[in-house]
């Protein structure tokens, strides 16, 4: 059991888990946190029950976690509340549907041995058999290679995913935490880390800090997820136009593919009426596939069977992300003229 006794002075980390109707997945997360390579007295576990209607809170208490119950307000608000309750200098975020590897906390804390480092991010792993889930994992692995290159070139990274992220608590609180206008799990984590890097904070990539995750495993769920992320990325682009140009999480090839996919549609519509449009469509498809070579090569090297669905998944990704982004630009919530702090640095 995770200890619920008074915590000693050598507390190193507060692990914060937002949970909404998570009774089916939360046990695996808490069990994984029971078996970390750092001593249990060096970390506390806080489960923020985001207005669940099931037994999430009771289950978390059985595992000895601290439980904070809130009205349903979304994961950003839940994580902020957990950060206020936390007692350690370093706050570590993961999700209820994640299973931290045994050395996750040890690895995510290592970058903080350097005082100038204010945040760190880890990686996803998966043990799923679904081809769709395996494609998603390889998508992430392509991003991880890009993030490692950017860190080497720039000395920092600007996209911390809250499934496997850590911050110095005082930096997090002073920044006002996550923007609670992001009501679903979208890019509120990237918004905060991007904003802080723009202010001069230093973040590190810790590729050995891993959590196992259950990715979506059907094409339809994948499309819905990409649409939702695209929608909220448009919201973020309104706040931070420079994010739309360059960020360490989104590969440039994906942006090109979205543009090529958008151009492909009118050429297909024109094809029956204007024969040269067919050649234009073919050229766009060839260019699309050429931009996908780095990911296709990675798939070939690491998981060849995923090539069977790679091309349709690439088109689903491009169209769903692009439509979501367009819908967010047209119908998304407007930016606030001035950001209000939602946390208080001195609160406990």
pLDDT tens per residue across span 294-306: 999 999 999 999 9
Alpha-carbon gap, residue 96 to 331, rounded angstroms: 31
Residue 335 has a pLDDT of 55
Question: Where do the H-state alpha helices sit in 276-306?
Answer: 276-291, 293-302
The whole-number average pLDDT for the span 240-254 is: 79
Alpha-carbon gap, residue 166 to 11, rounded angstroms: 15
What band does 346 get if pLDDT is binned at 50, 70 and 90? very low
3-state secondary structure of 245: helix
- Structure-block tokens of residue 260: 């090529």
The residue assigned the tokens 């923020």 is: 48
Alpha-carbon gap, residue 51 to 326, rounded angstroms: 31
DSSP β-ladder status, 13-19 and 43-50: parallel
The whole-number average pLDDT for the span 59-78 is: 94
Q: 324-336 burial, b if ≥16 CB within 10 A, otherwise e?
A: bbbebbeebeeee
pTM exceeding 0.75: yes
The whole-number average pLDDT for the span 97-101 is: 97
Does the pLDDT value for residue 2 go beyond 70? no
Alpha-carbon gap, residue 332 to 311, rounded angstroms: 30
Spell out the residues 6+ positions from residue 347 whose beta carbon is closer than 8 angstroms to its own.
84, 173
Domains of the chain: 13-217 (3.90.550.10), 218-334 (no CATH)
Q: How far is Cα of residue 9 from the mean position of the Cα atoms in its chain?
A: 31
């Amino acid at each position: 059991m995770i200890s619920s006794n008074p915590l000693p002075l050598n507390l190193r980390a507060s692990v914060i888990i937002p949970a909404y109707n998570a009774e089916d997945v939360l046990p695996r997360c808490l069990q994984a946190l029971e078996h970390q390579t750092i001593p249990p007295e060096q970390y506390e576990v806080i489960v923020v029950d985001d207005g669940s209607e099931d037994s999430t809170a009771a289950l978390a208490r059985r595992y000895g976690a601290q439980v904070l119950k809130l009205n349903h307000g979304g994961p950003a608000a839940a994580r902020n509340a957990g950060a206020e309750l936390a007692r350690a200098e370093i706050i570590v975020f993961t999700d209820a549907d994640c299973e931290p590897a045994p050395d996750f906390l040890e690895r995510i804390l290592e970058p903080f041995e350097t005082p100038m480092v204010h945040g760190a991010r880890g990686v996803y792993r998966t043990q799923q058999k679904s081809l769709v889930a395996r494609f998603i994992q390889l998508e992430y692995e392509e991003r991880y290679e890009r993030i490692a290159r950017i860190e080497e070139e720039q000395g920092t990274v600007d996209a911390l995913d809250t499934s496997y992220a850590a911050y110095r608590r005082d930096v997090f609180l002073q920044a006002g935490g996550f923007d609670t206008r992001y009501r679903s799990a979208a890019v509120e984590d990237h918004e905060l880390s991007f904003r802080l890097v723009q202010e001069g904070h230093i973040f590190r990539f810790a590729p050995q800090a891993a959590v196992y995750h259950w990715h979506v495993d059907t094409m339809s769920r994948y499309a819905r997820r990409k649409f939702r992320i695209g929608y909220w990325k448009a919201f973020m682009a309104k706040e931070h136009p420079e994010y739309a140009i360059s960020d360490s999480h989104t590969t440039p090839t994906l942006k090109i593919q979205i543009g090529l996919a958008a151009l492909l549609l009118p050429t297909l519509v024109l094809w029956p009426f204007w024969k040269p449009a067919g050649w234009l469509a073919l050229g766009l498809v060839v260019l699309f596939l050429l931009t996908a070579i780095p990911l296709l090569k990675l798939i070939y090297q690491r998981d060849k069977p995923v090539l069977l669905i790679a091309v349709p998944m690439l088109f689903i990704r491009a169209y769903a992300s692009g439509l979501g982004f367009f819908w967010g630009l047209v119908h998304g919530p407007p930016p606030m003229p001035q950001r209000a702090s939602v946390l208080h640095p001195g609160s406990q």
